[in-house]
């Protein structure tokens, strides 16, 4: 008797990372790649997103804030099992809708991602405190020293009792904790504000727990490491920035929405604080007309992203082009399509309904 052909489960990769999708193709999936225009701010591509995703049982990709995976997208895909993110953050996914619909959202908090963000934060901090950008500009323009901008001494000194700068960490999770760990050998004063972690975490990282207002008033550098949700949206706005020292710096390597960008721009223009460093913005990519692009050495900027995106060379196996985070994505997708629970579930509240709908239902077996 002739066997009926098995239809390959469809995966829409809305924001590809390297050639990681090839691994899914090699393992029996039909893979469709999203439109690069979906990343362009100001566009209206939700209808096209829904149309291309029709019939998909999995969505995957890195961040895509210009065309988020909204409730409308999720509701239009009745067979969807999983949205697998190659990033730590999932703020471009409607988590509430996914959970209501029994769709799992997975993410990839791999160390190469969050650890690199911590290193970027330290780089930002040292560049700001040492006045690196302005000194670099002065030399390239034919000068030598920039008067009055030689930079700060960061660490403590035994010779004269100088205690070093005070660093304020908002959010002592993976990244905030790593920043504290990296800075401990400098013997500086480290403050941290995080109401959701146990007391031993502050002791573990050698930091002093304080409330947010105290941290803002006492720190020479304030660095933000929070997830973006209703509570943290614009948690740093005009009122909070005005609490900071006029000589202090603000670093945001978390999510753009954690800082009110217009308020930060106004503060920088007025000299409320000395400067800022950013690799997260309220709109990404940063619009060409953003005032942040024209603030010279007051602001250090990098594009949003933390992990090295590619492993190159002939030794890199197919589908592993974006590193460990893509391995997590691919493995989570294959598990979900086999009716098994993925490892890196973000919205655990969706599991009961998901298990009721999909447990044991293997799409690769007819």
Domain residue ranges of the chain, discontinuous segments joined by +: 10-110+309-358, 112-301
Q: What confidence score (pLDDT) does residue 273 get?
A: 98
Q: How many alpha carbons lie under 13 Å from residue 233 in its C-beta half-sphere?
A: 4
How far apart are alpha carbons 134 and 148 in whole angstroms?
Answer: 11
Predicted TM-score (pTM) of the model is 0.85
Q: What confidence score (pLDDT) does residue 88 get?
A: 87
Q: What confidence score (pLDDT) does residue 323 get?
A: 74
Active site residues: 255, 284, 304
Domains 10-110+309-358 and 112-301 share a fold: yes
As to burial, measured by CB atoms within 10 angstroms (0-12 exposed, 13-18 middle, 19+ buried), residue 71 is middle
Low-confidence ranges of the chain (pLDDT < 70): 1-6, 149, 305-322, 366
Q: What confidence score (pLDDT) does residue 169 get?
A: 98
How far apart are alpha carbons 37 and 16 in whole angstroms?
Answer: 13
In 3D, which of 82, 128, 108 has the Cα closest to residue 306? Answer: 108
Place of tokens 């670099």: 136
* CA dist list (Å): 359 to 10, 188, 335: 18, 51, 10
Q: Taking a C-beta distance cutoff of 8 angstroms, is the pair 53, 59 a contact?
A: yes
In 3D, which of 293, 287, 264, 289 has the Cα closest to residue 276? Answer: 264
Architecture of domain 112-301: 3-Layer(aba) Sandwich (3.40)
Q: What confidence score (pLDDT) does residue 117 get?
A: 94
Q: Tell me which fold the domain 10-110+309-358 belongs to.
A: Rossmann fold (3.40.50)
Q: How many alpha carbons lie under 13 Å from residue 188 in its C-beta half-sphere?
A: 25
Q: Point out which residues pair with 311 in neighbouring strands.
A: none
Q: Where are the alpha helices (DSSP H) in 296-337?
A: 324-337
Pairing of strands 299-301, 275-278: parallel
């Amino acid at each position: 008797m002739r066997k009926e052909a098995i239809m390959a489960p469809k995966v829409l990769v809305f924001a590809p990372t390297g050639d990681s999708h090839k691994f899914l193709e090699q393992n029996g999936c039909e893979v469709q790649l999203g439109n690069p225009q979906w990343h362009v701010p100001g566009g209206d591509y939700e209808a096209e997103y829904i149309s291309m995703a029709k019939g998909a049982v999995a969505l995957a990709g890195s961040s895509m804030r210009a065309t988020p995976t909204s409730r409308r997208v999720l509701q239009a895909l009745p067979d969807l099992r999983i949205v697998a993110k190659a990033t730590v953050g999932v703020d471009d996914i409607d988590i509430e809708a996914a959970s209501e619909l029994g769709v799992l959202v997975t993410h990839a908090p791999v160390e190469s991602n969050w650890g690199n963000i911590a290193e970027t934060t330290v780089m930002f901090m040292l560049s700001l405190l040492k006045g690196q950008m302005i000194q670099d500009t002065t030399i390239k323009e034919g000068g030598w020293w920039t008067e009055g901008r030689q930079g700060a001494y960061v660490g403590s000194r035994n010779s004269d009792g100088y205690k070093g700068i005070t660093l304020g960490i908002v959010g002592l999770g993976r990244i905030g904790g790593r920043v504290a760990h990296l800075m401990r050998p400098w013997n500086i004063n480290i403050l941290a504000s995080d109401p959701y972690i146990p007391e031993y975490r502050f002791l573990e990282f050698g930091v002093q727990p304080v409330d947010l207002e105290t941290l803002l008033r006492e720190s020479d550098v304030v660095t933000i490491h929070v997830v973006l949700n209703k509570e943290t949206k614009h948690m740093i706005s005009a009122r909070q920035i005005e609490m900071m020292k006029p000589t202090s710096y603000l670093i945001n390597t978390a999510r753009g929405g954690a800082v009110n960008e217009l308020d930060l721009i106004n503060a920088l223009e007025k000299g409320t604080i000395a400067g800022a460093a950013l690799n997260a913005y309220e709109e990404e990519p940063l619009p060409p007309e953003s005032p942040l692009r024209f603030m010279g050495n007051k602001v250090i900027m990098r594009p949003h992203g933390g992990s090295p995106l590619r492993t190159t060379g002939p030794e890199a196996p197919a589908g592993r082009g974006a590193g460990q985070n893509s391995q997590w994505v691919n493995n989570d997708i294959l598990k979900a399509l086999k009716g098994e629970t993925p490892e890196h579930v973000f919205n655990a509240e969706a599991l009961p309904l998901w298990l009721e709908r999909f447990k044991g239902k293997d799409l690769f077996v007819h």
